[in-house]
Amino acid sequence: MIKKDIKWLAWTVIVLIIVSIAQIYSKNIAVTLFTITLVSLIVWLIDSHRYRIHHRNYKEHKDQKKRIESDIHKLHEQCNSHKLERYEHNLEIIELKERLSKLDLESKHEIEKLEETITHLTQKTTKLNKVIRDSKEAIITLESKEHNLKELLIQKLKHLEHSKKHIEYEEIHKKLHQLELLWRYDPSWGERKGIESIVSLKNTHLPFTLTQAFISFDKLILAKVQKYDHNANGQNTNLFENIQFIIEEYHLPMHMQDELHQIRKARNRWFHDGIYPTHDVIESLIKLLHDVEAKVFL
């Protein structure tokens, strides 16, 4: 495209020079000036039209990229929902198998009922595995299209007018600068979440913040327990027991008890199956860590 533009511009200049020389030799200055003005105006109009076409194409591709990002987000949401359903089924299967192992042979009817339920849940889990696998493949395909569009947008950006190009570069620079802040200083939890949201599909898709936050939550709960039990550590305790210990020692109100256990369950789903928490759980987690001034970098 650039070579074609240069070739077109070169021919325009040559025609302009030829016309100008011809008019000068005709010793008609007025005609020469008129010709130069006319040709310059035509060149300007053609150039402006080309810029408008480039800008329209750039905007169309940018809108297409946003639509693909929206489709990717919807697939992620569906996949997350299916993973949560699968996770719950697996927990239920484990619980039913445990109950089944405790039954004696005389409880034949109950055994058959439990086995039937386990089989049904296992079949549903198998179907969910396929749906999740198909969703991931669709996401990969869309992400490939999105990558190609990004490359195309970079090329299209070069052909925009300087003012519009400057605006686009400013937007890109601002995002990069904010992302760099993650490694330049110690951000608060709110800032950490906000910065990662810049490149996220949604404000719940924050893998790095979530991982750090849940690790910090574990350490925070354990530290509270160790104030009363110096022998407590990650090997001889678990998160559920530690939260129960804190609830009893600090006489926490019911809403705080529910909040801590909601965060614990979300933490388990995230670490065990990569299931994103809801927006409310993330907000509760970030607020809790912020209020106790828990460190972002551990």
SS (H, E, C) 171-232: HHHHHHHHHHHHHHCCCCHHHHHHHHHCCCCCCCCCHHHHHHHHHHHHHHHHHHHHCCCCCC
* Same domain? 38 vs 22: yes
Specify whether 175 is located in the same domain as 197.
no
- CA 292 from chain centre, in angstroms, equals 27
Residue 61 lies in a domain: no
Structural domains in the chain (count) = 3
**Is pLDDT of 19 > 80?**
no
**Residue 133 domain-assigned?**
yes
Q: Indicate whether 65 belongs to any domain.
A: no
Does the pTM surpass 0.85? The reply is: no
pLDDT in tens, 202-232: 777 888 889 999 999 999 999 889 888 877 7
Range of the domain at 116: 72-185
- pLDDT above 90: percentage of residues in the chain: 44
Whether residues 88 and 180 share a domain: the answer is: yes
Kindly state whether residues 162 and 220 are assigned to the same domain.
no
| 282 and 253 within one domain | yes
Is 63 among the domain residues? no
Q: Are residues 197 and 178 in the same domain?
A: no
Q: How far is C-alpha 58 from the chain's CA centre?
A: 23
Residue 156 and residue 225 in one domain: no
The answer to whether residues 243 and 150 belong to one domain is no
Question: For all residues of the chain together, what is the average pLDDT?
Answer: 84
Question: Is residue 129 one of the residues assigned to a domain?
Answer: yes
Confidence of residue 95 (pLDDT cuts 50, 70, 90): very high
